[in-house]
Amino acid sequence: MQKEKILKDLYRGRISPTSAPIQHDSDYHNSLTEVCRLEEKLNQLLDEQGKKLLQDFMTAQSKLGYANAEEQFICGFRLGARMILEIFEKDDEQLKPIIG
């Protein structure tokens, strides 16, 4: 059954929406390149204390981004599930006159 295969693959880590390769010349790739360039530039200008503060800031910002991405993924997944339920609900109503 397809449902069981998908659930098993998800459980076993074979499905991971966040591990898709980064497309070269995508907005994400270009933004990542710019962030790395600016980080390198800042590190050249900062003393050790400034570098530590920058690293702490970037870690906190990464945690915030991860939490936001996780929440958005869950919301999107729930929206998709609701859409599928609505599709089946509508199909059932349309099929009743056909199948009796």
99 or 66: whose pLDDT is higher?
Answer: 66
Amino acid at 5: K
Cα–Cα distance for residue pair 65/58, rounded to 1 Å: 10
CA-based nearest residue to 21, from 29, 10, 13: 29
Task: Tell me the backbone φ, ψ of residue 59, rounded to 5 degrees.
Answer: -65, -45
Cα–Cα distance for residue pair 21/32, rounded to 1 Å: 13
Cα–Cα distance for residue pair 28/20, rounded to 1 Å: 12
pLDDT digits (tens, 9 = 90+) for 23-57: 888 999 999 999 999 999 999 999 999 999 999 99
